[in-house]
Structure 1
Amino acid sequence: MKTAEIEMKWYHFLPHIFILTIVPLIVHLNVMPLTGAYFDFWNGDKNNLDFFSYYKGIWLLVFTGLLVIMFLVRLFQSDPNLIKKDLRIYYIPAGVYLLFVIVSTVFSKYQNISISGFPDRYEGIYILAAYIFLFFFTTAFTSKEKHVKIILGSLIIGATIIGSIGLFQYIGYDLWKSDFGKSLMIPSKYLKISNDIRFQFDKHTIYATLYHTDYVGSYMAMLFPLSFALLVLVKNKWFKVGMAIITVIMAINWLGCNSRAGFVGGVLALIVFLISINKVLTRHWKYFAVGLMVTIAMFLGLNQISHGYVNTRVASIFRDVKSLISSNGNSNSQSYKDSIPLKDIKISGTKGTVVTATETLNFKLINNQLTFEDTNNKPIESSYDTSNGKITLKDPAYKDYSLLAGKDGNQYVFKLDKGDIKLLFDLKPQGISLMDNKGKIFTLEPVESWGFNGKEKLGSSRGYIWSRSIPLLKNTILLGYGPDTFAAYFPQHDILGKMYAYNGDMWQLVDKPHDLYLQVALNTGMVSLLALLVLFGLYLFKSIKIYTKNEYDNFLSQVGVGVFIAIVGYLGAAFFNDSVVSVAPVFWILLGLGVSINHIISNQNASKGTNFQNRKLGNPGNPAKIK
């Protein structure tokens, strides 16, 4: 006996609606005290003041939990459309990925980080599991065109609000810098610090509610192509008018956020869109051409407003590509040392040596007193101010040095500054030790690297990060280090490499690989990455088959190709950006929506084929017989 179909109502999609419209908008301060591994691998601050990730993650888990409850209720009601057997091919790689997320967490050395996530990111096991649940529940709940419209409408509303905030930021009216904005994002008990907040971005830059310009780029690499596709393909005039306005807002944010990753992803999506609609391009070429010209006009206008900065950012992409493929670069792995002021640090017992580009400073700890020698090991006369710990070297060659010595808690420390060189030493009778910016003793061990020799600054120092991250992959072939634990395993002690890559900032915290695929491979293992690539590949392959031959004469196919190129845009930007809780939930819902739309279209096409065969053969069950 066939089970009766249970109608899926609009309110069953309330969690989806909130995740797409409300969660990305959440900007609220959470003060997290840092202890243990959280402090050890953070930037030296004892508290993490997070505005953009923590509460987004909390509410994402709440709404995902509601989806779990709804799913279980409908499963208990024996909804026949809930688990689609035809989609098991997608569920298997998604399940494998989730399995390795769990196992990598269980065996992680830093389980607290793996469970809750790293400061400012909070993509631990719960959040990663929520992403997979969102994908699964979207495919489970979406089986009709009206379901697609609910999810699409929610996404467009949320994107329009985010885009409007970004638009005003670009012209110098940042909501979060206003008293009203501060009252929204800062709890009342912390309002006294509102005037002390320093914003990283000024006008002519967009970060909206998504934490960073790069993540606005990832978001808009989805939303701009999607809105552009709907503008071109959907015939309804009023819908076109609405989508024209929304597409302009998305275009301004896509270009105005100055994210090169987002630009690459968006352009890739538009190329795929052009290929997908080649069969019907003659029917829609006017709208495509007008949309493209408006986008170009946006580019020129934003470039004018920003005094050429947009063009500079785009041009830098081509410069980086040219530099990457050029054989003229210095391939010497140590070449970066020629460009930095700090050449070497040597420590032996109670003697230390700092070698700079212009001179060498030797210092010794004798009877709890520091003595100094120059490049030729000749003594340097010095004086010590007991009131503030300041040491003055009488040799003019060392006039640019700032030296301090004294007690810091229970430690006796020596601080040496010269321009970008900022060093701290622990002084004990038994020996001198080098300390990091958090006061933790470490040694300058050799750092493994792969590729990008002499080109570490490519892609805003992505070349440096990738060159130091790729060697770590040999340890994550099966299991990863644990969700969000990248910062704990990156060679943070590579102060010479950082000084070169980050223009003198030798204590820069590297907490993410700036590449989704590298991020997955390191955090949850290469097997989990392979599973994700299979999942993405299956969807992309199915979409190519459907949309390169489609007539786009119905709403589902028009939305379907828009979602398809949105996924392409995100995955393209993901070569240069990470997964973050501000954007990733939207991607995973869109991926589930795309799989669902493809499934509906395939079933419709199969049904049309069956009906055609029935009519052709004169099936007695079909009233349209051929006589």
Structure 2
Amino acid sequence: MRTKKYDNYAKWYYLLPIMFVVTVLPLIVYLKVVPLTGASYDTWTGVTENYDFFSYYKGMWLIIAAALGLFMVVVRAFQNDPNLLKKELKQFYLVIGVYLLFIVGSTIISDYRAVALSGYPDRYEGVYVLIAYLVIFLITIALIQKESHVQYLLGALMIGAFAVGIIGLFQYLGYDPFKMDFVKSLFLPEQYKHIANDLEFQFDKYVIYATLFHYNYVGSYAAMLFPLCFTLFILTKSKSFKIAMGLMTLLMGIVWLGSNARSGIIGVAFAFIVLLIAINKIIKKYWKYFAAGLIIVLALFIGLNQISNGYIGTRVSSLFTDAKILIGMEENTAPGSESIPLKELKTSGNQGTIVTPSETLNFVFADDALAFTDGNGIPLETSYDSSNGKITIHNPAYKDYRLSYGRIDNNRILNLVKGNILLVFDLKPDRISLIDNKGNEVSLEPVEAWGFEGNERIGSSRGYIWSRSLPLLKNSLIFGYGPDTFAIAFPQHDIIGKMYAYHGDMWQVVDKPHNLYLQIAINTGVISLLAFLFLVGNYLFRCFRLYVSNPFDSFLSQAGVAVFVAIVGYLGAAFFNDSVVSVAPVFWVLLGLGVSVNHIISKRTGSV
């Protein structure tokens, strides 16, 4: 029996920090200009500042929200709230402690500690943000203690999702709010108002990125929200709430499909399979609403596909094509290694060699002069224009080469361009080296790859990223390279591999693995990944026990299974997407909410 004292310290306003996380945090868009130094600069695109709109301030406000939430828990502790620490959930507390240990340990031993602390450009998911994720998870478990708490938190989530959905809808129709002068004035600091007209946005109509930075992350967000709303629409008995959830299902369906994120499609597919398993005993009772939901999905697909001139259908079709290629049901007809413009690149002492599918070019730097020969060692006649540094090779086989030779900061430099081949060499009397656009030497050592040979372009080049990321696990079995240091650990010097994977873009910066599980294992270690898998695995196991064949005659059970399928949706999309501060906080709050709801239901049914 609850006492008056319990009601006093279990007021809704204690939930404000986590309500803020699911409502306001995903909507934050504001410019932060971050100077780049050290490893961040060395591995980034060559600019000295990162203009970030979507991640930096989300991370800062997340940390603030986590600190305020922790304060609320302390206040409740001084009020002698007996329900803060749930002894039955000690497994969750223990595994969070292990996860935290390896996050902090990976930061301490990282060779790139500055990045591990604050995060990498455009991402800013350093150690403080990762700790904030765990804190808000634990805070949610502690503060969610009764049905009204669940209602408040889900209500806050729906408000945030509605705002994301409306922004996304306008973007899909070609009326992107972020391209409007008034909106630009809201997310630009006063000293940067002058750049408003120069801002260029990566996406046009028929793509939704909302306030979440990229359509892939919208896919992860929708993989949670669409199944959650769909499930509540089916199961709720309240007519007004059912109408509201029907409208939210429609809006989140638009966001889901309009993002064009194939990862979101996969996540929702996993979620729907789990939902069907959970409600298998009562699906006949709710078949009308379930059928209505499926009709909504089908109508959305047809309508949005028609509006986008078939683009959504193309995306879905490519997903099935990639799957067939991977399992060997279909042959990969994409151009193979023969399509790589650069076949080989090597330097030895003062000599360099470039091999393309059609010819070989050798060059030697000696006595402040360059000499060129073909693949057979036959000298090539050249002329040099000292006014512009241009070198011309007088041989038809080399007519597509653009060469220039000159000095930069007292260093002698050779620039070579042929189509997509863009190379710069630092010339010294005894040594020639390849350098990048920041003047750093680029290693020409072979790059180790595991799997996906010939299928590197699978999943928008995820095959390439995964094949080069998997070997990194050998060095992160215990501790990882450090939070958010994936881009530094990745073999960015694999210019030949990138030329194939990215259709000629040899200097593409690979800053994320496009896989949450690889991201955790590489950044904070394989043991931390095992801790995370145990955490979500334990939650999913408890959900199966509680919800398979559940009658769902109470709001808590309906909310619990809705959160369950939302978590499954996110974890499914996570095979192809990373953790990012625009979306991950919502996942961690929902996971904490799901654990709390399960605990409340278990106590009521005596199955703890």
Flag whether TM exceeds 0.5 (same fold): yes
Matched, 1:435 2:452: no
Matched residue SS, 2:285: helix
Identity of aligned residues (%): 59
2:138 is matched with 136
Deviation at 1:279, TM superposition (A): 1.3
Q: Give the Cα–Cα distance (whole angstroms) in 1 for the partners of residues 141 and 282 of structure 2.
A: 29
2:541 is matched with 541
1:421 is matched with 421
Q: Give the Cα–Cα distance (whole angstroms) in 1 for the partners of residues 134 and 312 of structure 2.
A: 36
Higher mean C-alpha displacement, 256-265 vs 377-386: 377-386
Amino acid across the alignment from 2:536:
F
Amino acid across the alignment from 2:39:
A
TM-score (norm 1): 0.94
Q: Give the Cα–Cα distance (whole angstroms) in 2 for the partners of residues 144 and 26 of structure 1.
A: 29
- For 1:548-587, list aligned pairs within 5 A: 548-587=548-587
Q: What do the CA deviations read for 1:212-239 (whole angstroms, capped 9, x no partner)?
A: 1100000000000000011111111111
| Contact 2:9–2:76, Cα closer than 8 Å, also in 1 | no
2:177 is matched with 175
2:79 is matched with 77
Higher mean C-alpha displacement, 342-351 vs 450-459: 342-351
- For 1:307-326, list aligned pairs within 5 A: 307-326=309-328
Deviation at 1:365, TM superposition (A): 1.5
**Gap regions ≥5 residues in structure 1:** 610-627
- For 1:459-478, list aligned pairs within 5 A: 459-478=459-478
Higher mean C-alpha displacement, 41-50 vs 115-124: 41-50
1:193 is matched with 195
Matched residue SS, 1:278: coil
Deviation at 1:452, TM superposition (A): 0.7
Q: Give the Cα–Cα distance (whole angstroms) in 1 for the partners of residues 113 and 293 of structure 2.
A: 49
Deviation at 1:330, TM superposition (A): 8.3
Q: What do the CA deviations read for 1:477-525 (whole angstroms, capped 9, x no partner)?
A: 1111111111111111111111111111111111111111111111111
Matched residue SS, 1:423: strand
1:17 is matched with 19
Q: Give the Cα–Cα distance (whole angstroms) in 2 for the partners of residues 77 and 407 of structure 1.
A: 72
Deviation at 1:329, TM superposition (A): 5.6
Q: What do the CA deviations read for 1:548-605 (whole angstroms, capped 9, x no partner)?
A: 1211111111111110000000000001100000000000000000011111111111
| Contact 1:330–1:453, Cα closer than 8 Å, also in 2 | no
Higher mean C-alpha displacement, 406-415 vs 136-145: 406-415
- For 1:209-288, list aligned pairs within 5 A: 209-288=211-290
1:109 is matched with 111
| Contact 1:336–1:497, Cα closer than 8 Å, also in 2 | no
Amino acid across the alignment from 1:13:
L
| Contact 1:437–1:507, Cα closer than 8 Å, also in 2 | no
Amino acid across the alignment from 1:482:
G
Q: Give the Cα–Cα distance (whole angstroms) in 2 for the partners of residues 543 and 147 of structure 1.
A: 19
2:520 is matched with 520
Q: Give the Cα–Cα distance (whole angstroms) in 2 for the partners of residues 172 and 327 of structure 1.
A: 38
Amino acid across the alignment from 1:285:
W
Aligned length: 604
Q: Give the Cα–Cα distance (whole angstroms) in 2 for the partners of residues 37 and 410 of structure 1.
A: 25
TM-score (norm 2): 0.97
Q: Give the Cα–Cα distance (whole angstroms) in 2 for the partners of residues 211 and 314 of structure 1.
A: 22
| Contact 1:495–1:507, Cα closer than 8 Å, also in 2 | yes
Matched residue SS, 1:365: strand
Amino acid across the alignment from 1:287:
Y
Higher mean C-alpha displacement, 271-280 vs 190-199: 190-199
2:600 is matched with 600
| Contact 1:329–1:454, Cα closer than 8 Å, also in 2 | no
Matched, 1:161 2:159: no
Deviation at 1:336, TM superposition (A): 4.9
Q: What do the CA deviations read for 1:448-482 (whole angstroms, capped 9, x no partner)?
A: 11111111111111111111111111111111111
2:92 is matched with 90
Deviation at 1:350, TM superposition (A): 1.7
Q: Give the Cα–Cα distance (whole angstroms) in 1 for the partners of residues 341 and 283 of structure 2.
A: 57
Deviation at 1:436, TM superposition (A): 2.3
Q: Give the Cα–Cα distance (whole angstroms) in 1 for the partners of residues 300 and 237 of structure 2.
A: 24
Q: Please identify runs of 4+ aligned residues in structure 1 that moved more than 3 A.
A: 2-6, 327-331
**Gap regions ≥5 residues in structure 2:** none
In structure 2, do the counterparts of structure 1 residues 327 and 318 end up closer, same or farther at CA, with 3 Å as the change threshold?
Answer: closer
Q: Give the Cα–Cα distance (whole angstroms) in 2 for the partners of residues 132 and 43 of structure 1.
A: 32
Larger Rg: 1
Deviation at 1:251, TM superposition (A): 0.2
Q: Give the Cα–Cα distance (whole angstroms) in 2 for the partners of residues 205 and 575 of structure 1.
A: 21
2:48 is matched with 46
Amino acid across the alignment from 1:339:
S
- For 1:452-463, list aligned pairs within 5 A: 452-463=452-463
Deviation at 1:371, TM superposition (A): 2.3
